[in-house]
Amino acid sequence: MGDAGSLFLGTVIAIYLFHVLGPNYNLHPEFKMNKALLAITVIIYPLLDLLRIFIIRIAQKKSPFHPDQESLTSPFT
């Protein structure tokens, strides 16, 4: 997935999370979860992967913005 695909996917996820956090969205009664906790749960994996990659690249004296295949999601693309 290139830059355009990842930006599009991030935008779709952000719009969905804003929709979920809105006052008109109700979770199913069997899901006893706070809406804010649900939103954090959805975005925590990509954020932790980003933080992990930045730490690895900085420790290797590389630019954190230099592309490589060390992301946890790289095998899926």
Tokens found for residue 72 = 């946890």
10-residue block means of pLDDT along the chain (77 residues)?
A: 73 86 79 80 83 88 80 59
Mean pLDDT (the chain) is 79
> Which pLDDT score, from 0 to 100, does residue 59 have?
93
Q: What are phi and psi of 68, to 5 degrees?
A: -155, -170
Domain count, the chain: 1
Q: What are phi and psi of 10, to 5 degrees?
A: -65, -40
Domain around 19: 3-76
In angstroms, rounded to a whole number, what is the distance separating the alpha carbons of residues 16 and 21? Answer: 9
In angstroms, rounded to a whole number, what is the distance separating the alpha carbons of residues 17 and 44? Answer: 13
Q: Give the DSSP H/E element, type plus range, for residue 5.
A: helix 3-21
- The length of the chain is 77
